[in-house]
Structure formats: C-alpha cells, structure tokens
Structure 1
Amino acid sequence: MSATDCLDPVRKALLDDLDEGFAELYATYRGLVFSTALRLSGRWADAEDLTAEAFLRAYRALAGYDRDRVAALQPRAWLMTILMNIWRNCARAKSRKPPPDLRDEPVDEPDPAQDVEEAAVRRETGDELSELLGLLPDEQRAAVVLRHVVDLPVSEIATVLKIPQGTVKSHVSRGLRRLRELGGAR
C-alpha cells in the first residue's frame, strides 16, 4: 500500500492531477464555502464573490505547492482560512467606503421548482439568522459560523482564525449568548 492510498479522495485527486483534483475539491467543498461566506457576509451576492475568490486563490496556491505540501493539506480548514482572510480584507475595505445606495439593488427571484411555503420559511429563518449574525462582532461571528454552520472542531477554528483554542471557545460562547439575547429581544 502506497502513502497516497491513505489520503482522503480530495488530496489523492489533487496529487494525481491538479485540474481534476481541483474539480473534486470544488465539488466537495463549494456548498460549505458558500454557506460560510453567506453567514459571514449576510448577502447572497457578497457570498458568491467571496466563494469565487476563495476558490480562485486556492487554485493559484495549489499550482505552486509541492507534492508533500498537498499531501499534508487539510482541505476544509485550508479553504476556511482562505475564505476568512478574504472576508476580513473585504470587511476592512468596506469600512473605508461609504455604504452603497440599496434602492437600485435587484431582488432575488424565487426558484419556481421550490415549494413556495417551504422556501418562504427557509428564507425568513435564514434572513433572521443572517441579520442576527451581522450584529455580532466580527471575531464572534466568524467563530460561531465556523463552529455551528461549518461544524469545524475548535482546533481547526483556532488554525483558521490564528488564535488560541481557548479564545475560540470564548468567542463561540459569547457569540451564542449574544445571539440568544438578540433573538429573545425580538
């Protein structure tokens, strides 16, 4: 048995062929990355942009990695790290610009194949959660999303956010407490 036989399918595919392996990486993690981006940004269009940029940067990085680095890669945590860095940079850049005029923003059209009532409930719940998450400080929002939306373990969140595990636990705890307070006030 070779060393590559012990690898997960994504890393094995990346080692076999970068382009096909990247397609496997994208297929495996696109939903997770988009969901995380949506919870972090609170806006569908921003989440799409964040997701596209994260995968673009991931591909560029992989093209420069040697086989040992790819073999040691933890794809989920690595992609979340890339996404978090892009999100922080975008948030920093947005804080320097005046807010856009939202009156001209297009309205998302519902999917006609979806059950209307189910879609409305899901959208209302998602919108409420996004709004509440948007009220949290960035570090708490990131920790809560990575823990309870992405379901990363505390050790991986610490790696992604580049903070100690105890700080991750504190951010998650305080973020959840604040979400409960905000949710109860409605």
Structure 2
Amino acid sequence: MKVLAALAISASTLLAVVSADMLQINNPTDGTDWKTDVPNFVGWTGNCASMGLDAKTVKVDLVNGPSTAVRYVATLGTLDCSGSNTRADMTVPSTVASGEYSIVIRTAPQQSYTNTFKITNPSQPAPPSNNPSSPSNPEAAAPASPTSGSSASKHSSQALAALAGTAAMAFYLL
C-alpha cells in the first residue's frame, strides 16, 4: 500500500514538472499566411498560471532568422494565459516586410515558440534571400529557438529526475 502511495506521489510530481508553463502553440503553424495591419490570432493549449499576475500580460514577440541566430523584429502585444484563455488577436505592423517569421511567447521559466510561418505585406515584398532584412531592434535579440526534440528531451530528463527523487524520498520515509 505504501508503494502505491509513493508511486502516486511520484506520478503527480512528474506531471507538474512536464507541464510547467510552456504553452503548446497551435496557431500560427507552418503554412499559415498572416497579413499585416489586420488582426491575426495566436492559439494555444495549456496555461501559465504559476507565473502569478505576470501571466495576465505575457509579451508576444515576432522574430526571424535561423534557430541558431534568432533576431527580434517587433513586439506584437501581450496575451493572458493565466486561466482558460486559449486565443489572442495580434496585428503585425505595416513596417514588417513580407517573409518567414516565428513568434516567441515570453512565458517563464521557458519561452514558447511557434514554427516558422509566412507574413505577407503588399507594400513591403520579401527581401532577396541573400540579403536578410535587418531587425528593427538588434539589442533585443531572442535566444535561439529550441527544436521540438531538444525541448521535449529536456523536459523528459527533468521529469525523470523529479520522479527518481520523489521515489527515493518515499522509500526512505517508508
């Protein structure tokens, strides 16, 4: 009976660690085409309630570039991921050129990234591929976007460490 109780505690700890404040973004996705100067929506599952009051105004930034050198382009606004909200409208400013971009939602302790998607601005076509556009705020460069595998691997190893620690503590107390 004590073993079952220890396993139940371990499982609940594992779930808490794995779901810690990382939103799973389901819009925009690869193949999405946003337009400038009109509302587009960011959709997600999960929440970041453990961020406290900060969860009501989480910053949403537009970035571009390869995952090893992501560059800040613009802040699109904020969203409230503190509870049951799963959607927020964002408008891409007309100063953003057409091209491939990603969004980073600045949740803590780990930021949430979208896949690359397209933005179309009729007044600013995409620059030639050999001359990438410069970011409007180079000092605010975002850290490199983790790949899905590395993020999942990091969460898995943290979860396993938490599970092992909880199980060891439970057996010690038995």
Indicate the TM-score class for this superposition, using the shorter chain for normalisation.
under 0.3
Choose between structure 1 and 2: higher helix proportion: 1
TM-score by length of 1: 0.25
* Higher normalized contact order (CA 8 Å, seq sep 6+, divided by chain length): 2
Give the number of the structure whose alpha-carbon radius of gyration is greater.
Answer: 2
TM-score in terms of structure 2 length: 0.26
